[in-house]
Amino acid sequence: MSTLDAPVTALKGVGEALAIKLGRLSIERVSDLLFHLPLRYQDRTRLTPMGTLRAGQEAVIEGEVTANDVVKGRRRSLLVRLRDASGIVSLRFFHFAPAQQQQLHVGARVRAFGEARAGATGLELYHPEYSLMGHGPGGAETPIDEHFTPIYPTTEGLNQPRLRALVQQALGLLESEPEALPEVLPDALRRRFGLMGLHVSLALLHQPPPDADIDQLGAGQHPATRRLALEELLAHRLSLREVRQRIQQDGAPLLSAGRGLQARFLAQLPFALTGAQQRVLEEIVLDLARPAPMLRLVQGDVGSGKTVVAAMAALAALESHCQAAIMAPTEILAEQHYRSFQAWFEPLGVEVAWLAGKLKGKARLDAKAAIADGRARMVVGTHALFQGDVHFQRLGLAIIDEQHRFGVHQRLALREKGEAGGLTPHQLIMTATPIPRTLAMSAYADLDVSLIDELPPGRTPVKTVVVSDERRPEVVQRIERACGEGRQAYWVCTLIEESEALQCQAAEVTCEELTEALPELAIGLVHGRMKAAEKAAVMAAFKEGEVDLLVATTVIEVGVDVPNASLMVIENPERLGLSQLHQLRGRVGRGSTASFCVLLYPAPLSQSSRQRLGVMRETSDGFRIAEKDLELRGPGEVLGTRQTGLAQMKIADLERDADLLDSVSALAQALEGDANTAAVLIRRWLGDAAGRYGQV
Ligand code: ADP
Ligand code: MG
């Protein structure tokens, strides 16, 4: 084994204690040091004349000590004055040893590096790094640095010079055994994509030559950074592809239903499926009839009718004597699905079970027993369905609603649930987040994608207005009118300072105010800090029409379906992302009456917020909104990638490097069938995480 592949303790001077610190930086093998890139760089390659130094500048200066005093200000300090031909600068030390004062005696020549601040005596460097120069003419000159100095992300107890020395050791090893870290991208591909070599890129990033563009480096735009980012994105893409291949090697139950249950279900629905729903359903039916697990993502804008498609797919499983499960990200949503599936399936003679975290004691045991012995054929729940103590008799299809709240790992965990029968369940993932194509390729490279690109007929688009807080009384009157005409309304209080507690408090206060202003209306309140049973009761009352106005926090963001609600007021909409506003707004406009969304902002509104909210007024196209959102806020927010593992990249940044994604696709295609290269890349960039992706 090459030293580069060995644990860091193979390096000179690295013992257990240091290895633990390095571990905190995810540096375990020697080669990990090479991929631990600097955050930024310092320019110590030239001397700055003191006279040209500005406050805030980091610079190397050199001069002769002209004074050296211990001064008693608010804190005692050692003040050393330096002079060169152009000016005077002081060095200040709050902690100093007596020997230091002697070392920096008057007449000594000192070179120092630090950040200049405007201090009591003019420009000062606090605690600079410094060295003493040869004494006078003929003394040995220390050469100035030849490279920019890298500043690394580090951890307590590990200083920059130490980390720098370790990286230098690793670079030395790379030079002496270059084949230990092979360039796996073939020359032809590198030329085609204009990519720098791997070793050249690493060397450059750890010790950029003085003619490198330091701003470009700092911004992660240097060709060397981009080469590495591209390789990392490629490794993630290949890893997702591998996950897919691994799952698809498993057997899956053949779900080729006669259409009995489905036909009866369709006959009892008060509407016909849209063309888009039918098309997507056909794609699903084809997958289910194959002996490999389906891995399919259904994207459909809010209100496009994904639940009915899910129900039809579930019926195919039931008819083939398998169970089906649907999992939602919140209890409110899971309960809503539970009620829908009960109403739809019980008339067909199908028992529907319910399982969520809040279900305790005997009820929980009963539900688990019914799931295990197969009495419960349709199971609805939250992520509680994933827990190790839940066993299915024969799970044939797992449906995950609003996928962006779930991660890759949970998706994979489903494999285990089918193990009892020796078969892996089919997976159907549904999301209302319209994901721009290139991003979808990165986040969901392991999934096939179906698109419900049509809304059910008879919907009138929601009219959106942007209104200043000063017109609040008018907005309240508007609610009074709508509810007076028998319709219902939402009033949404948005996040305050990231604090759920404050958000709930705001909703409580607003609810009180509205109750006072609108005494004749029945007003309900739901927020995240209420007990699940209380929330459910309020939601149920709203669904039944017993509550006219629902005051809520963003907990109602996804999926809640009350067609009679035709007005939504969103307070402080400028705090939310556009995709989130779109999700919220999708709660109205589900019936046939014209619906309105009022974005109630506190005046004055910044130019950029005005522009953002303008997008909401102009379009109800979820894809356009998502593209705008991506532009304005980045992919982490749009995808919820924090939970998908995509955010754990070392060098690449989906937002910054979005323009690389097309090349990533092309490279992944070019490497199709090259299992060796894929394995090297995945191990290099995902390390042990790659195993986790595949095995969960
Ligand atoms: P989402 O895709 O946002 O999850 P839902 O599945 O909740 O949407 O459906 C939204 C509403 O549209 C529900 O009231 C549902 O019954 C209704 N719906 C679904 N499909 C159709 C259709 N083909 N025609 C009319 N209404 C439909
Ligand atoms: Mg839904």
Name the residue of 307, 400, 562, 566 to mutate for ligand 1: max ligand atoms within 8 A of Cβ.
307
Give the model's pLDDT for residue 694.
Answer: 37
Report the atom number in ligand 1 closest to the C-alpha of 272.
23
How far, in Å, is the centroid of ligand 2 from the Cα of 451? Answer: 14
pLDDT at 439: 67
CA atoms of 446 and 440, how far apart (whole Å)? 10
* Residue whose C-alpha is closest to residue 450's, from 307, 293, 277: 277
At residue 559, what is the residue type?
A: G
Determine the pLDDT at residue 244.
81
What is the residue with the minimal CA distance to atom 18 of ligand 1? 305
Query: What pLDDT, in 10s, does the model give residues 623-679?
Result: 788 777 777 665 555 554 433 444 467 888 877 887 888 889 899 999 988 989 999
Per-residue pLDDT averaged across 472-497, rounded?
90
Atom 19 (ligand 1): residue with closest C-alpha?
Answer: 305
Residue 496: Cβ within 10 Å count = 16
At 8, the pLDDT band (50, 70, 90 cuts) reads very high
What is the fold of 462-619? Answer: Rossmann fold (3.40.50)
- Whether residue 311 is predicted with pLDDT greater than 90 in this model: the reply is yes
Read off the amino acid at residue 568: M
Which has more pLDDT, 349 or 690?
349
CA distances from 223 to 39, 200, 421, 588 (A): 16, 11, 51, 48
Distance from the CA of 86 to the center of ligand 1, in angstroms?
Answer: 76
Q: How far apart are CA 402 and CA 433, in angstroms?
A: 8
Residue 585 alpha carbon to ligand 1 centre in Å: 15
CA of 277 to the centre of ligand 1 (A): 10
- Spell out the residues 6+ positions from residue 56 whose beta carbon is closer than 8 angstroms to its own: 115, 116, 117
- Assess whether the C-beta atom of 271 lies below 6 angstroms from ligand 1: yes
Residue nearest to atom 10 of ligand 1 (CA): 303
- Ligand 1 site, residue 274, Cβ cutoff 6 A: yes
Q: What is the mean pLDDT of residues 61-66?
A: 96
Radius of gyration (C-alpha) of the chain in whole angstroms: 32
> What is the tens place of the pLDDT at every residue in 556-576?
755 577 889 999 999 989 888
546 SS3 class: coil
Task: Report pLDDT for 306.
Answer: 93
Quick one: residue 461, left, alpha or beta (phi over 0 = left, psi -120 to 50 = alpha)?
A: beta
- Ligand 1 mutation target, pool 268, 277, 308, most atoms within 8 A of CB: 308
Residue 81 has pLDDT above 80, yes or no: yes
**Across 592-658, where does the E strand assignment appear?**
596-601
- Tell me which of 301 and 36 has the higher pLDDT: 36
| Predicted confidence band of residue 597 (pLDDT cuts 50, 70, 90) | very high
Length of the chain: 696
Query: CB of 456 closer than 6 A to ligand 1?
Result: yes
Which ligand number lies closest to the CA of residue 298? 1
pLDDT for the residue numbered 649: 76
- Helix, strand, or coil (residue 688): helix
Across the chain, mean pLDDT equals: 86
Residue 692 pLDDT: 46
Flag whether pLDDT at 86 surpasses 80: yes
pTM of the shown model: 0.69
How many Å from the N-terminal Cα to the C-terminal Cα in the chain? 29
Cα-to-centroid distance, 264 and ligand 2 (Å): 22
Contact 589 CB / ligand 1 (< 6 Å): no
Q: 402 pLDDT exceeds 80?
A: no
Give burial (CB, 10 Å; 0-12/13-18/19+) of 434.
Answer: buried
**Model pLDDT, residue 385:** 85
pLDDT at 691: 47
Half-sphere exposure for 274 (CA within 13 Å, toward CB): 20
Q: Is the CB of 590 under 6 A from ligand 1?
A: yes
Tokens of 330: 């919140």
Q: Is 303 in the pocket of ligand 1 (CB under 6 A)?
A: yes
For the CA of 308, the nearest atom of ligand 1: 6
Chain segment 417-444, per-residue pLDDT in tens:
665 567 889 999 898 776 666 666 666 7
Percentage of the chain modeled with pLDDT above 70: 88
Q: For ligand 1, atom 12, which residue shows the shortest CA distance?
A: 305
Task: Map residue 115 onto helix, strand or coil.
Answer: strand
- Residue 27 CA to chain centroid, in angstroms? 23
Q: 400 CA to middle of ligand 2, Å? A: 10
Contact between 401 and 333 under an 8 Å Cβ cutoff? The reply is yes
> Does the domain at residues 249-452 carry the CATH identifier 2.60.260.20?
no
Q: What is the dihedral of CA 110, 113, 119, 123, to 10 degrees?
A: 70
Return the bridge partners of 464, or none: 597
Give the number of the atom of ligand 1 that is nearest the alpha carbon of residue 310: 6
Q: Whose CA is nearest to atom 17 of ligand 1?
A: 305
DSSP 486-535: T-EEEEEPPPBTTBHHHHHHHHHHHHHHHHHH-TTS-EEEE-TTS-HHHH
Angle of helix 223-249 relative to helix 688-695, nearest 10 degrees? Answer: 30
- The whole-number pLDDT of residue 498 equals 56
Position 571, amino acid? E
What DSSP designation does 29 have? B
The CA distance from 524 to 514, in Å, is 10
* pLDDT score recorded for residue 688: 60
- What's the rounded mean pLDDT across residues 381-398? 87
pLDDT tens profile 11-44? 989 999 999 999 999 899 999 999 999 988 988 8
Please report which ligand is nearest the Cα atom of 587: 1
Give the pLDDT confidence score for residue 640 in this predicted structure.
Answer: 47
User: Which ranges constitute the DSSP H helices of 55-103?
Assistant: 98-103
The pLDDT value recorded for residue 346 is: 94
Q: Which helix (H) or strand (E) holds 70?
A: strand 58-72
Mean pLDDT, rounded, for 299-303? 84
Secondary structure, 3-state, 174-193: HHHCHHHCCCCCCHHHHHHH
The answer, yes or no, to whether any atom of ligand 1 lies below 6 A from the CB of 591, is no
The Cα–Cα gap between 393 and 476 comes to 53
User: Hey, whose CA ends up nearest to atom 26 of ligand 1?
Assistant: 456
Cα–ligand 1 centroid distance for 404 (angstroms): 20
How far is the centre of ligand 1, averaged over its atoms, from the C-alpha of 561 (Å)? 8
What pLDDT, on the 0 to 100 scale, is given for residue 591?
A: 77
Q: Is the CB of 308 under 6 A from ligand 1?
A: yes
CA 540 to chain centre: 32
Does 519 sit behind a cis peptide bond, omega within 30 degrees of 0 on the bond before it?
A: no
Residue 563, ligand 1, Cβ within 6 A: yes
Q: Measured from the CB, is residue 305 less than 6 Å from ligand 1?
A: yes
Say how many CA atoms lie within 13 Å of 408 toward its Cβ: 30
Could you tell me the CA-to-CA distances from 423 to 256, 379, 462, 517, 524 in Å, in that order?
15, 18, 45, 59, 46
Q: Whose alpha carbon is nearest atom 15 of ligand 1?
A: 305
State the Cα–Cα distance between residues 546 and 521, nearest whole angstrom: 10
pLDDT digits (tens, 9 = 90+) for 499-542: 667 777 788 999 999 999 999 999 999 987 888 788 888 988 99
Q: Could you give the dihedral angle defined by the CA atoms of residues 573, 578, 584 and 587, in that order, rounded to the nearest 10 degrees?
A: 130
Among 264, 299, 272, which residue's Cα sits nearest to residue 283?
299
3-class state of residue 479 by DSSP: helix
Greatest mean pLDDT among 248-257, 666-675, 680-689 lies in: 666-675
Query: Could you list which residues have their CB under 5 Å from ion ligand 2?
Result: 559
Residue 289: pLDDT above 50?
yes
The answer to whether 249-452 and 462-619 have equal CATH topology is yes
Question: CA 427, CA 416: separation in Å to the nearest integer?
Answer: 12
Predicted local distance difference test score (pLDDT) of residue 410: 62
Calpha distance 499→510 (Å, rounded): 17
Ligand 1 neighbour 307 (Cβ under 6 A): yes
Q: What is the average pLDDT across 578-582?
A: 83
Domain ranges of the chain: 3-41+150-210, 50-144, 249-452, 462-619
Q: What is the pLDDT of residue 415?
A: 67
Q: Which amino acid is at 343?
A: A
- More confident: 455 or 117: 117
For residues 2 and 173, give the distance between their C-alpha atoms in angstroms, rounded to a whole number. Answer: 9
The domain defined by 50-144 carries CATH number 1.10.10.10 = no
pLDDT in tens, 445-475: 778 889 898 888 877 789 999 999 999 999 9
What's residue 634's pLDDT?
Answer: 58
Question: Of the ligands numbered here, which is closest to the C-alpha atom of 310?
Answer: 1
All residues at 6 or more sequence positions from 145 whose CB lies less than 8 Å from its CB, including other chains: 44, 45
Please report the atom of ligand 1 found closest to the CA of residue 273: 23
Cα of 310 from ligand 2 centre, angstroms: 10
